[in-house]
Structure formats: structure tokens, C-alpha cells
Structure 1
């Protein structure tokens, strides 16, 4: 029996957009700065369908720029669509080259959309005895489905690929025949394409109308049967309904020929593909694409199983050599273990390479008393050694870690250090953390090991979350089979080693290597010590404070009810919006959320302060509720039962500016602007009566950095003469003598000073200080007139960012700004603000990180019992022994103020 011809028609832009947004939180940027996300995703999708479905014929259909017949019918068609992302525009030429290299035809027709080209060819091919698969996720194509025409919807991480035939279409749309798809789409409309549809008709109503009337025309002929206000809406929109159905209908009679011979899948141009992939830096993916050509398939490398020393077990470790194949077949890879060399040979191997990567395995890194289950090390690509936790193996590992000449590579080393300490491995130097290295290279991207492996090695790691399971069926690592534990840890050790080689080279090329080794790696150990130390809480004080806040909240609630005239759920945004804007009509024009509710966000309500007393009460109510739920009641629940303290986790690779953040709990966002918020800090107490809490805070560090970078004479003069900068600014901006600056002027000047750093607009400043936009603009203009070098620096920083697409801090930390030249005005403006702020905020982050290292080293030098506990933005918090007060204060002040030299003094309060 002859095999039926199988034609795949790909909706190009549907797949390109899908690929681009799949990587939106973790874009693939190559070493040349090219965003390859859309190209990579499209290529993988194309290869997967070739491998899995084996089409005999194929074509990729594109939309053409310019209006189509639908725009002529309805000028507003697709009018609300966002501009095409730059990452998709830049990807198009590469995708054209890819398709040309694979000899896959690109089809398009002026005046028509890809939908119409696909529809016409699909119907013509069906008549020539083809099975046709329209590869797209666009539901509009369902109208074309027939006995031999199918929708092929590609899957993703969360869903599998779906093929829709007639049965699936009828079930999905809840209709009786495929021809009703366009009636359904016409009734509902389409917000994406700006097809209006019938007012008041959603999915459920459209299904109801289809079941009752069968078509749009029949519905509109019988509107007298519709009940309520919906009848009036539908009757008034009859012409709109007919137009919507027409706009949703795919034209299957466009002037395009179906040339069967030209669509046959044929041999690829391998040289052109190689050239393209080398340019894009797609590495092992080339092997996949070769397997679809007529060239013999390239097989992945495997390691021969050796019985070397198999019988010589005396003096050997319990370990296995693992070859990590560059393949996605985990079940096959899982079985490639061989009993291998003894410890002396491994040691020799590591000494020769002067580097090893390591991966420990434990059930809970947050548990400071949790011993490791096992560990793996690797010093050569594609080879790892697995060790069970026993005394002999731990001694061997300690010997490796305590050798300062050998580099230790790991991932999330800060957490692993805690596990190693339990086993007496404390003095760990010469380290390389893969996640932090990548953070310095690409701060805005994800730094998960599986993501890095896919992006840089084209290799997919074992999905450990799936292996462990979820919910009540989730297993611990200790419950995994030995083979799974071995493969998992050995694979990670190998991947980390390979990534470290790539990242170290890139750090060196970008002049980031010193920042990495002199700031980030030493800081890692400081943060580990701080996390292990923890901080004591006054639980009794918090219990009393909780009762106090609960009373305050209830009183505020009663005041809100009194002003609104009725009781309601103050915590419900929906009820809140109805009270404020329907009943009380505090303002006429109100912002709404996507769901149609009134917006009652803090940002919205803050703009309404002063309009009515109830607004201020609501904001105060929310502030107290957050303080109570997030901190006062929550912190006691986080006290470690073994230490009696809370132990936060500092994130070293999250904030793209270089700043640290903290979680579990977040101790950096405790509100301190209100009296109640400041009282919360009293709950943090010293370990005993011999100690006291001591905090040291940089004074106006970001403004001092701005002065140093801009070299503005008046700003430098103010800081160098120890003049209050906000008073000096107020005198300049408001054109008064310093002695005549009042509190309100100084407060406004403070907002201006800090607002300028963040690239604040006249509108933003007007909202902050409660003046008109015109007055705010005048204040900003006056500021730049009095501090001209600040404006020059800001303009220069934006120009540099446009040229390089990144900015740098004083110590060389980079912040990439991929949208700085975007055609989208809003995205470009955001990038411009970052180009001003990132060097300043990032420099402040670098300075306090270096200060932490310097202070910690000096404390250890004097063997002090005092401990550094927290870093909160520009502030360091210590548990200070009273007898060490003088020496600690001296160390902290000197090291923080002298950690880096600026054109103005750094001052610490």
C-alpha cells in the first residue's frame, strides 16, 4: 500500500513569537550580544516535527508587511497590537537563512496573511490526496479542519503536542459542525486581532447561540427571542457581527499555486547550516540537524566500559566513573557507570588539572545540621567520580578542599559550604561559583544550572523535580536509587566544570575577572558566615506588638466604615473599588484592571492622597496589615528549633544592579518610614546581656557616587565641605540663601536629589512632592541649571549605553540594556533611566560588598567575638560584644569609609 503524502504547513510568525516568549525571562544571548531566543526555539520546533512526524512535503508561510484585505474592510483590524519585539525582527533574516539552507520553501503573498496562504494550499493539497497538517497554535485555523486537514498544535514544557481533527474541533468549541467555527469566532470577537464581535457575547454565550441558532445569520434574524439587555446590544451590532464573521474567515481562494514538487523535503545544504550555526554559536544542535539530512547520522560519544582494577578493591573508594553523554536520553545515560581508579590516581588527575568541580547531595540545605548523603567530583570533561559519605571519603574530600593551589568549582557554593562544615571542612579557598560567574556576565538572565547547561552546552540535565515527584508523593534525595543519585551528582559536577571553563574565559575577556575573584567570591564566604550566625528575636515583644497592631487595625477599620457609611471587606479590592468610586465617587476617571475591576493598588491610592480622608486611612490600614502579617506574626514561626534564631538567606545573584537581597525571611524590606515600622526593629536583639546591636550606615552614598562620577563642582564642594547636600540643593533650586531653606524646601530637594538618580520625570516628581507638573518641570530645569555636570553625565551615560548596549559601575560591573535602542518608546525610556541609575546603584552595591569583606577580615584578624549579622542596603548590622565596642566601631568606620576612593569622602553614621 502506497504511503499517503504528508504535507506540513507552518505558520511562521505564530511559531517565532511562541519561541521568543518561551525565553522571555531567560533570553539566549550569544557572545556577540545577539538575542538568539526566537531562532533557537524555532529551530528546535522545526527539527522536532521533522524527527517525529516525518513529513514528505513542507513549507513555511509568512505574513507580509502592509495592509491586507481585512484592513480595507475594517481599519481598526489589529490596530491594538504591540510593535514587533526587536528580538523577533532581528531573528527573521537568520530564520530565512536557516530555511533556505534546509531547502524548505518560504511562502507569502502581498495583501494576504499567512492564514490565507495556508488555507488555500491546504485545500488544494487535499484535492491531490495529501494529508495536510497546519502547524500553529492559532485557534482560527480550526475552521479549515476536514477529513484530511488537521491542526497540529506544538507542545511545550507544560503540555504535549495536540493534533485536532474534526472530532477534536467539535469538542473544543462545543459546536455541531466545523463550518460553525467562524460563527463562533465572529460572535466572540478577538481582542488580539481587534475583531469586535457581538457586545456582551463571550465564550459561553457564543456556544449557547450556536447550539440554538446554528449560525451568525440565523441569530441576527431571530434577535427578538433574546432576553434582557443583551437583545438590545446584539440588535444594535448586527452589521458589526456580520463584519466580525467576515474578518475571522480565512480566505481559501487566494492567488497562490500549489507546486507539489517544490515542497518535497530534500537534502539540506550542510555547509550553509554549519556556517549559520557557527555564527549563532549553536553547538551540538548541529548534530541533531545533520540526522535529518541524507548525511549519515552522527552518534553521540560513549565511554567504553573498563574492568580496570575491578578486582582490586583494597584501599579504593566507593566511587564510580560516569561518562556524561551529550544526549537527552537519560534512561540510557543512567546506566553508564564503571568501577574505576583508586584515590591516588584521582588525586594525581586533579593535581595535574589544578581544578575540580564538586556537587554534594543532602535532603535539606536549609537545615544547618543536615549531613551530606553523597558527593561527586570532576576534573575532566565527561568524567565524574561518585563518593558515598563515609569517614575515608570525607578525609579525602577534606584533603582536596584544603589545598589552596587547587580551584574548587561549584554551583550555589554558599549553601554547600554549610553542609561541608558539619564534616569538618571549613577552610575553603580558591573557589569558582558557576551561578555567580554567569550573574556577572548576564545579570538579567536566569542562572539555574539546567538553563545554563541548555544554553551554553546544548545539553539537558536530568529533571530532578520530576524524578523526586511533587506534593505528598515527593521523595527525598536519600530515597532515590543509588543509580539516580550517582548520575544526578556526577552529571552536575561535570556540567559545572564545563561551564566554569566557558565563563572564566568570558569574565577575563570582559575585564570582570577581578570583580569576580576579589569581590564576589570572598563575599560568598562572608554571607555564609552571616547566614549561619543568624539573629535573635524578642518573641515576647513581638507578641505584645501583635496585640497592639491588631487593636490599631480594628480601630482604623471602624473609622473607614464610618467615612464610607457602611461595613465592607476592607481587604477586598473589588469591594474597596465599588465603595470608593461607585458610591463615594472620589474621582471621576478611574483606572481599571484587566479584569474590569477598579484599581485600588497602593500606587493608585497614593496618587489620590488628599482627595479624601478615607484614602489616608486605607493606606495606613494596609501598611499595618502588611507589617503584622509579613513580619510581626510571621518571624517567630521562622525561628530555627536548634539555634533559637532566625536565619535569612542572602541572594547574591538576583538583583541585576548588583545589590544583595534576602529571603526566608526578607529582612531588607522591613518598613522604617513609619513609627510602627521602626518599632519592628526593636525585636532584633543581641545574643546575651554582654552584647548589643550596632548598626553602621553609609550616608547618602548614591548621591556621593553621582557627585564623583559627574564631577559637578558645586556638588563636590558641598560634600567636601561637609555641607548638608539637601539643604544646599534646596538653596540652589529654589534660589534662596542657605539660611532661608525651610523644612518643606529641604524635603522637596531631597526628593529631587534621589529622583534625579532614578531618571525621574516631571510627572513623577509632581506626584512625589505634591506640586503641578509645570512646577515640577521648573524644579528639574533649575536643578540641571545649577548642577550642569550632572545633566552632562546623565546624557553621556545614555549615549554610552546606546553605543555599547551596557553600562558599568566604578568597579566594572556591567548592566546590559538590550532595549536602549528599541523602537518601543516605553521600553527605550525605561532602559535610558537604567543607564543613569545602574552605574550609581551598582557602584553602591560594589562598595558595601567590598566593605563587608574588609570588615570581616579585620574582625577575624583580631579574633573578635562580635559578629556581622545583616546587610540592609547601605547598612551593616552587628551583634557587638560590649567589651569590643571601641575596636569594632573603629574597624567598621575605617574600613567602610576607606574601602574605595571617590572624589568625595564616604561617611558612615
Structure 2
């Protein structure tokens, strides 16, 4: 059977424009939408259809504008960057030999509808390539002896080829779609429907009364406010039906069988592909296509896109349907809940969000749940609103029981925004979630860690041009802020349902953008998303602490703080407040006349840690103040605070890990922050002694040895550095022997090893000769000589650093071994300080980011192995390059062997990954 492919050109162009970064060619011409369209067309042509047409809207008004002057009146004008790509798009389509159809007075939809029905009548199979839901009215199932009409969504790849598929998506048959759209209205096309009538209500009415005419006829029988809304809209509904109906009788000069693909104009294509930088398409044209497909096209455009595509924080032009306000309703009756469950069971994916009365997921009470399976439509299920006069709500346990199978079904893809929080809340309610597939916070973070904040409000503004309802809008601010359980259900519905809806909208945009970047999508799919449930388990496991030990340490720290105050008073010759920057400023710089080496942004003498360190060699007082501050920080952050943070339900402390924290990919920790406990001081190690194992168990700590330096060896391929690691020698001692010309490692002195260690690690963080001199207590010239000696012995490191800087300048970003990117907006800044900072980040980010990726991969692997041993061992902490486990005594040896092996195997580098491990009754003993 012959096949006709009808391409909705306007849908292609707009969706490519909003899904892909604003790329440009060498001449600065915008190419992002064009790039997407060309690749979709190439994919279409590779399927070798018998007939094909590229259909676009003609300029000017259509018959629908005559029917309703307000039709599409709210559509924003086409962005200039998109308009500039329309003509090149048409030129490429023509050169490919694809017929372009553009008919005055009607929309592209009507041309497509007419051709589809005519082809179907001529027994030609039809594929409509579009993302427009209106075309669902045309779907016809193919039969053995009759052609069908299939919709293929160009963005998601989903197909709609039967009434069953249409019902699964919309809740109605294909022949009822027009009536459904008439009742719902369409905010994108500015068609007002029945107020508060969403797709579920409209589908319910059509299920009862069959057609729009049947609904109109029985309008008086529909009760409540929604019935009043229906009756108020009755005069409008026939017009809505006219506007929503795709014409299938447009007069056309050519029929389906006259739309055969013409011979392509290779010369014209060659010139167009070259002009717009489509290198793979050009190679394909020349008969040299490779398995890399469109990857090199992306690479060819990347340099011109860097800094432009990802920079700044301004909102990006949204697709109209993704920027429109949504239609939301509360689920408060059993029939509504039944309909919700049925709708979730009928779709492949849905977004969800939980509302609670606390930011602490380990103690928060569930107040409600929201769901969205279609952009622009969402529901909220209130469960715990308890303000005076609150309407009746469904029983929480009954709702959770009804939803539990949907949440547990891995075939239903779940989407969230920072969904780890929701996993905790629902787990504590007895609901386990399988198939948590996408997280918009992480999509944004992987796509570009530095372009935007990754909270929903910021992402909605940037990628959708959408202003969300803020929490303070419904709950108030400051001392007057109320719990969400006290928010009126009508207000809560607008806020909570919007969360689910916006999550789904963001996924449509960000998911497409990641799909256009295979290396980034791989980081997202293979590292960040699998890590979400792993971190949720680590957080839920928590860690036991010895409160009595911490209280004892607090008393001792308090005494030492008092001693430091007395010492400071003695040195100053008078009393003063050590916690007052203003008093310190007057004392140090006005009275003691110490030099001002660091200033605040306003030009005042600074008293921060850096400023005090800079003058600590000139007077004893700054060092005493620094010591006092260190003690005070340990006491306030850990010894006083940790006992208060023990969860009363679990008896443990539960930290929160943040995947979208550091741009390099390193995990951050908060409430409490366990990443910053000092390890090199006795006081820090003492705090670790308060992290303990329960009776019959031990703590096991596994730590990567010098991982970033090993990554440096791998990336630089410097033979000397590689040789030092391959030999298993002390790499700092080996470096010292090289730099200082020692014949054997035994000849290296302690100071020489210390200097080599400072150089090894300092270079990774962009340390200058000045910084090295200060750290080693030597002159700047001597430090510079050390660095020069180092580079003469390790030329591969020098070459790698220069190559990385240049790559960063060329591309605007650097990458980890696994493809994670860090964009460097200031790499070409005219300000020398900003540029130097970006260059330091360019050197460090690949190593720190690769280290982060490696330990994340190790955590995923180890967690999978632990699945069968959760009663015997728990992963309880991740701190930088270290993992900590709580292990049954008899299982320690097996855990040590498995964890060490899996951590060492989390990456294949030029040099071996080495894991140090220890066992003890507390964390300090195990470290």
C-alpha cells in the first residue's frame, strides 16, 4: 500500500525553535530551528515515503478570522530569530525535492486534513507528522484492506493510530474530538470554552450524551456551578465547533498521488548546508554518511552557540501553548478520583507533586497531591486541609490505596521537579514509586548548570516565559505565613495543580533540548536520574550520633572559646566583641595600624578569614581571632546543633543531598551540612567520633585516594605522572624527586614532599606563584621556580592546561570524562580578573566534575548490589570522595571487598583508581 507523509511545517518550525538552543552559523545567522527541521526532514526522507508534502500557513487572514475576529488574537508575533529562518527553511525543503503547499484563506491544518481524507479515500496510508492535538479528529485505524490515518508526534515520537489510542489520550473517540475541543476551548487559539470545563469533564459529558448537540440538549440536567457555566456558554458552542473543525474539502490544484518527491537539487543543497554549517548533512549529500548521524552537525554549530545559547538569565521565547495559563480542578469526590486513576492508567507518563506542611521530607505531613498528564490541564487532590470551614475531602488512606498501583507501575513514567522530596513523603505514607523517569530540576542542571537557578519558578520564567504562582501568594510571608494545610482549597488547587502542569511543560522543553545533546542526555540518563532513588535511600537511612559525646565536646569548645577571648583581650589591651566586624576593624586597622590587604566590595577594610590570614604573620591577635571563630563555628554548626537534629521517629540524623548544587556535579549536603566537618584538625576528627554504629554493627569508610590527581594524569597523559601512579609509589614523593632532582624517593625531605604536594594540588585549582609562596612560606620568586621545575618535568600537564584553556575559549565550555559540561561565561571577558577565574575553573572543572561523576556511578552500582543485603548493610553518608556504610559485624569483610571493587571499577582511566578503607565503631576510627 502506498504511503503519504504530510508534514505540518509550522509545527516543525516552532517546535524546533523552542526545543533547541538558539544556535548560529559563523556569520551570526540564527540556525537553531533550521537545524532541527533539516534533521527531522532527513529522518522522514530516510523512511522513503511514496508521496510527501510540507504544508505551511499562508500569510493573511483565514475564514476562521471572519467567523471570529478574536481567533488567535492573543498569539505573540513571530520572534525575529525565527522569522529569519523561514525563508532558508523553504529553500532547503524545495532543494530536497519536497512539494511545499500554501493555500490562501485556510490554515495548514485544513490543507493537511483535505489531503489526508482524499488519500484515505484513494486507499493511500497517511502519516501526519505534527504535534498539534487538533489533528486527532482525523485519526482512522488501518484495516487489512483499508488505509489508515496516523498521527506521529515529531517531538516525542508517539503514535496515534486508532480510536483506542485517541481514547487513551483524550478520553473520547476520534469522531468526538471536535466536540471535546468545543467544550474545553483552546487558550492557544483564544477559543473560550465552558468555564472550568477541563478534558475530563468534557469527556465525561460526551460519554453520557454522545455529541456536543447531546450535551447542549441535556444542559439543564447538569447540576452545580459547572452546569451554570455550561448553560452560560451555550450560545458560543456552535461557533467553537466551527473553529475547531479541520476542513477536509479545500480546493487543491494537486491530489495526493501528485505529491511524489522530486529529484533533489544537490548543488543548491550543497550551498545551503555549507552556509548554515550542517556538516553531517553535507557529508551525507556527498555520500560519506557515518554512524554518528547528526552529532557532527551539532559539534559544528556548538562553538558559535556557546556563550550565546546558554548565557544570561532572561526568559527564552516559549511555544505559545507552553506559556498559556492552565485549567485546573480539585478532586473531592469518589467519581472524580476514579476518573483520575483511570486517566493515569491510560497514559504513558504524568507529572506529579506533593504538598506538605514542612520542608523536612522526613517529618512532613502530606496535605495534597497534584497530577498532570496533558499540558495546560491538571488536578489537585486535597487530603489534609484543616482550616475552619474547610470542605469535605477524600479519605487520605483511601486515596493512597487507589493511587498506589499507579505509582508502583514502572510502565507509567513519573515526572517531578526535585522529586526526591516527593519520594520521601510518599514512602513515609506507604507508597513506593517505581518508574520515576524524569526530573526537570536535573534536566535543567545537566543541560546547563550555570544558566539559571533550577527551582521551578526560575525555570518556568526562563524556558516557558511563564510567571508561576508563588508560595507566598497563597500562604503569606514572614511571621504571618500559614501552613499549607491552612490554605483555602480553591487557592491551593491553583497553586498545586500549576506545579504539576508546569513540571510537565518544562519536561517537554528541557527533555527535547537534552535529546538534542546526546552526551548530556547520557549524563542525565545514566548518572543523575539513577542516582535519585539512591540518594533517597541514603538520606532515609540516616546516621546514628552520640549526643552525650557532642554535648561534652560543646562544653570543652565553650571553655576554649572563653580562653581565646581572654587571650584576645590581653593582646588588645582592652575588652572588645570578637563577633563584631566593626569593632575588629577599628581595633586592627585604626588602633594597631595593621595593613589593609583585603577590602570589602564597598572599599572598607575586611575582617573576613582571608583578610585575617593575610595579616596573621604580623601580629598574634588575628590568629587568635581565627582560632576563636573556628571553635565557634564547630560548636554552633555541629556540637550544639546535631543533637537537636535527631529525628524523633527514627533516632537518627538525616542530611539532604543536593544534586543541582555545585556546577561541577559534586553533591552538596545540608540540614546538616556534613561536607564541611574539618578532617585535618583534631577538633574535626573528634566530631566524627560522635557518628557511631549501633551495637552489633560497624562503620566502614571507603575513600578514593588522590582521585583528582589521578584524573589529571589520565587527561594530560603525562608519562611521568602516569608512571608515578602506575608504580604505586607515593606520588607526592615521586613528584618531589622529579622536581628537585633526587636520585631516589628516600632522598626526598619532608619539606620537599610538602612543596610537591602543594604544587600537585595547587595547579589543579589554578594556584598562582603568589598563592604557592604564601602556602609554603617562601618567596614568590622561589615559588615560581618550583612551578617552572614542575612543568619542565611534567610537560604533559602544562600542555593539557594550555589545551584546556584554548578549548574553553573556543567552545565556551569544558567537559568531564563522561560528557558533563561546565559553561564558562567569562572565558572571554575583558575584565582580567573574571577571565582568570574562568580559566582556573576550566582547568579544575574537568577533574572535579569527573571525580563527582565517578563516585556517583559507584554509588549507583553499590546500591544495586546492596538491594539484596539491606538488612545487613546500609549506605549512610557520601562526603566528597568518601562513602560510609553501616554494616553488620559478620558482613564487614564482604562489604569491604564489594564496595572497594565497585568504586575502583566505576571508571576506566589511564591510571588505576585506588580505594582506601577502614572499619571502626565510629566514623573517625573508620576513616
TM class by shorter-chain length?
A: 0.5 to 0.7
Q: What is the aligned partner in structure 2 of residue 843 from structure 1?
A: 850
Aligned equivalents of 1:663 and 1:471: distance in 2? 22
1:365 Cα deviation after fit: 4.5
Aligned equivalents of 1:339 and 1:690: distance in 2? 51
CA deviation string 1:227-272 (max 9, x = no partner):
xxxxxxxxxxxxxxxxxxxxxxxxxxxxxxxxxxxxxxxxxxx999
Contact kept? 1:310, 1:340, Cα under 8 Å: no
1:632 Cα deviation after fit: 1.1
Identify the match of residue 537 of structure 2 among 499, 508, 529.
529
Identify the match of residue 798 of structure 2 among 787, 791, 808.
791
Identify the match of residue 778 of structure 1 among 763, 785, 789.
785
| Structure with more relative contact order (C-alpha pairs < 8 Å, separation 6 or more) | 2
Aligned equivalents of 2:188 and 2:443: distance in 1? 33
Identify the match of residue 446 of structure 2 among 440, 446, 464.
440
- Is the counterpart of residue 547 in structure 1 residue 352 in structure 2? no
Q: What is the aligned partner in structure 2 of residue 357 from structure 1?
A: 351
Matched residue SS, 2:752: helix
Aligned equivalents of 2:356 and 2:427: distance in 1? 13
Q: What is the aligned partner in structure 1 of residue 375 from structure 2?
A: 381
Q: What is the aligned partner in structure 2 of residue 168 from structure 1?
A: none
- Is the counterpart of residue 733 in structure 1 residue 739 in structure 2? yes
Moved more, 623-632 or 372-381: 372-381
CA deviation string 1:560-589 (max 9, x = no partner):
2222322222222222233333333344x5
CA deviation string 1:476-520 (max 9, x = no partner):
222222222222222221111121122122112112222212211
User: Could you say if the C-alpha distance between residues 503 and 847 of structure 1 is closer, same or farther in structure 2, counting changes exceeding 3 Å?
Assistant: same
- Is the counterpart of residue 559 in structure 1 residue 538 in structure 2? no
Contact kept? 1:515, 1:813, Cα under 8 Å: yes
User: Could you say if the C-alpha distance between residues 719 and 303 of structure 1 is closer, same or farther in structure 2, counting changes exceeding 3 Å?
Assistant: farther
User: Could you say if the C-alpha distance between residues 342 and 563 of structure 1 is closer, same or farther in structure 2, counting changes exceeding 3 Å?
Assistant: closer
- List gaps (5 residues or longer) in structure 1: 1-27, 35-269, 282-296, 314-319
User: Could you say if the C-alpha distance between residues 640 and 863 of structure 1 is closer, same or farther in structure 2, counting changes exceeding 3 Å?
Assistant: closer
Contact kept? 1:535, 1:646, Cα under 8 Å: yes
Contact kept? 1:574, 1:597, Cα under 8 Å: no
Aligned equivalents of 1:735 and 1:791: distance in 2? 19
Aligned equivalents of 1:845 and 1:851: distance in 2? 10
Matched residue SS, 1:801: helix
Q: What is the aligned partner in structure 2 of residue 630 from structure 1?
A: 637
Contact kept? 1:855, 1:892, Cα under 8 Å: yes
Aligned equivalents of 1:508 and 1:29: distance in 2? 9
Identify the match of residue 487 of structure 2 among 464, 468, 480.
480
Moved more, 566-575 or 780-789: 566-575
- Is the counterpart of residue 510 in structure 1 residue 517 in structure 2? yes
Aligned equivalents of 2:892 and 2:769: distance in 1? 47
CA deviation string 1:313-365 (max 9, x = no partner):
9xxxxxx999x9979998x9678999998677656655664111111222124
Aligned equivalents of 1:369 and 1:573: distance in 2? 38
Aligned equivalents of 1:340 and 1:366: distance in 2? 31
Q: What is the aligned partner in structure 2 of residue 878 from structure 1?
A: 885
Matched residue SS, 1:375: strand
Q: What is the aligned partner in structure 1 of residue 591 from structure 2?
A: 583
Aligned equivalents of 1:340 and 1:536: distance in 2? 43
Aligned equivalents of 1:277 and 1:534: distance in 2? 51
Q: What is the aligned partner in structure 2 of residue 751 from structure 1?
A: 758
Contact kept? 2:330, 2:382, Cα under 8 Å: no
Aligned equivalents of 1:370 and 1:779: distance in 2? 56
Matched residue SS, 2:802: helix
Aligned equivalents of 1:501 and 1:439: distance in 2? 15
Contact kept? 2:330, 2:381, Cα under 8 Å: no
Backbone CA RMSD of aligned residues? 3.3
Q: TM-score, normalization: structure 1?
A: 0.64
Aligned residues: 624
User: Could you say if the C-alpha distance between residues 394 and 427 of structure 1 is closer, same or farther in structure 2, counting changes exceeding 3 Å?
Assistant: same
Q: What is the aligned partner in structure 2 of residue 469 from structure 1?
A: 476
- List gaps (5 residues or longer) in structure 2: 1-17, 25-74, 87-186, 209-225, 230-318, 384-394, 917-927
Aligned equivalents of 2:682 and 2:85: distance in 1? 56
Alignment map for 1:405-420 (pairs within 5 Å): 405-420=411-426
Alignment map for 1:215-230 (pairs within 5 Å): none
Contact kept? 1:302, 1:325, Cα under 8 Å: no
- Is the counterpart of residue 705 in structure 1 residue 711 in structure 2? yes
User: Could you say if the C-alpha distance between residues 509 and 327 of structure 1 is closer, same or farther in structure 2, counting changes exceeding 3 Å?
Assistant: closer
1:751 Cα deviation after fit: 1.1
Q: What is the aligned partner in structure 2 of residue 812 from structure 1?
A: 819
Q: TM-score, normalization: structure 2?
A: 0.63
